Amino acid sequence: MKILFIASEGLPYSKTGGLADVVEALPKALVEMGHEVAVLLPCYRGNKVTSTLAASVTVALGDRLRFPAIGEAAPVAGVRYFLVGDRGYFDREQLYGEKGADYPDNAERFAEFARVGIEFMKRVWLPDVVHCHDWQTALVPVLLRTQHFEDPVVRGLPAVFTIHNIGYQGLFPQTVMRAIGLPDRLFTMNGLEFYGGLNFLKGGLIYADFLTTVSRRYAQEIQTPEYGHGLEGVIRGRADRLVGILNGVDYAVWSPELDTHIAQNYSAHNLDGKKVCKKDLLQQFKLLGGKSDALERPLIGIVSRFVDQKGFDLIAQVATELLRENISLIALGTGQAEYEALFKELAEKHQGRVAVKIGYDNVLAHKIEAGADIFLMPSRYEPCGLNQIYSLRYGTVPVVRATGGLDDTIQSFDAKTQKGTGFKFEAYDRHALMESVRAALKLQREPKVWQTLQKNGMAKDFSWKASAASYVTLYEAAKRSRIPRVSGTSKG
């Protein structure tokens, strides 16, 4: 099967979050299964193409014409990569915005990207199914089913659309409709209209053949007012075409046996290297000092965006109480100014026990996964989450809130049966969070039981193999759901 991924980011060419990891790892897993896979991305600053396939593609955005290019980049693990180049739109400092604000022309940028996606399929590489991701590519299924409905090349092309986080929807004023060349007839309650504005994500939800999201629990949650962000009715209306497929992990990258970023490799058969990694991590953040108890003190790690969704309002509430416990805390991430300031203040007040790095550092992320004893993820909602899965493989015990993918991947530890992989709490409040943290700290004082818990987690397999097979089943269903299309000519 020929499968085309269209996404706004994907490793190794671009990344702001977990979407990029998925767009890297899932295509590789599909290639390993024998499928032919290509990925179409914007050509951001620093990206390079190896060949130009179309030097100028005419794209109409309202009453304006733009002339982006299509190039091919270096393949990775059998996956072909194609980049859409438009220096005015994509050669920028960041992918979506700067200094906490979105770029004001994001609607035009990603409308152009979607339109080039259609032209790419017609001119360069015609797939059997197109798989689109998040609001930035939601116009692809909209265009396929409306303005390209009669196009003999793509009219029968099945489209799968994945919601990685329904909290990000691509909301714009109604006036943007004309600016991006969408007809007024699509601006209805049953179309792209959303409380008087334009909603890109809603278009993808309505016009795609099948919908997926990144965990079974999240597929249920987004059908409720609490988690649906205003689109729960649309989701419920398409529940028969919605599937929750858990994201996988690339263990070639995230595994203590193979990790090249950590101080010493280790495995479930010999955890001695984890102590070396903890010492290295403490030294990296200048928390080791000359204190003999620093290595023995439980170390809690956080790698996250510092935002409310990730539970940082809860962390702010319990910070003082948490640090009354005999723990060290290391946090890596960036986000809302108040939470960045909170961690800086904690690090200043509790020197030798708390450290923070504002920003993202891939090497330090690996070191935290390997060196921490406990990994904290108290998310308000979490579509899938990857760090809790990384933590399991590194023998770093997760403390999580039972929501979305966190609930699907972490099993509460039962001291009587010795089964389970971490600690979960249901209520979104400070007391439930602290109860779980204290339960983890108490268990850590029992080394034999703690090691059983670590090994339980390390034995779990969340590789992409099973998830990729589920996607193939879905692609086949999407193909069956469409009328046979007239074959067109494709290059490549």
Domain boundaries, the chain: 2-248+466-481, 272-461
Assigned token pair, 448? 């034999």
Domains 2-248+466-481 and 272-461 belong to one CATH topology: yes
Residue found by looking up tokens 């671009």 in the block: 14
- pLDDT of the residue at 98: 86
pTM, 2 dp = 0.88
End-to-end CA distance of the chain: 14
Residue among 471, 472, 485 at smallest CA distance from 126: 485
CA atoms within 13 A on the CB side of 136: 22
Q: Does domain 272-461 have CATH number 3.40.50.2000?
A: yes
> What is the C-alpha to C-alpha distance for residues 108 and 60, in angstroms, rounded to an integer?
11
Cβ-contact 129, 4 below 8 angstroms: yes
- pLDDT of the residue at 486: 44
What backbone phi and psi angles, to 5 degrees, belong to 401? -90, 145
User: Domain 2-248+466-481 adopts which CATH fold?
Assistant: Rossmann fold (3.40.50)
Any long-range contacts for 285-290 (C-beta under 8 Å, 24+ apart)? 285/330, 285/355, 285/357, 286/355, 287/328, 287/330, 287/352, 287/353, 287/355, 289/352
- pLDDT of the residue at 487: 42
- pLDDT of the residue at 289: 73
The SS3 assignment for 490 reads coil
The alpha carbon of residue 272 and the mean position of all alpha carbons in its chain are separated, in whole angstroms, by 32
Q: At what angle do helices 272-284 and 362-371 cross, to 10 degrees?
A: 130
CA dihedral 433, 439, 445, 447 (to 10 degrees): -110
Residue among 250, 274, 299, 297 at smallest CA distance from 370: 274
- pLDDT of the residue at 490: 41
> What is the C-alpha to C-alpha distance for residues 224 and 336, in angstroms, rounded to an integer?
26
Q: What are 261-277's pLDDT values in tens digits?
A: 999 999 999 999 999 99
Biggest CA-to-CA distance, the chain: 73
- pLDDT of the residue at 483: 61
In one-letter notation, the amino acid at residue 31 is V
The alpha carbon of residue 360 and the mean position of all alpha carbons in its chain are separated, in whole angstroms, by 15
329 pairs with which residues across the strands?
300, 354
Name, in order, each residue with C-beta under 8 angstroms of 478's C-beta and a sequence gap of 6 or more: 129, 158, 159, 160, 209, 210
Cβ-contact 84, 135 below 8 angstroms: no
Q: Which residues of the chain have pLDDT under 50?
A: 485-492
- pLDDT of the residue at 484: 56
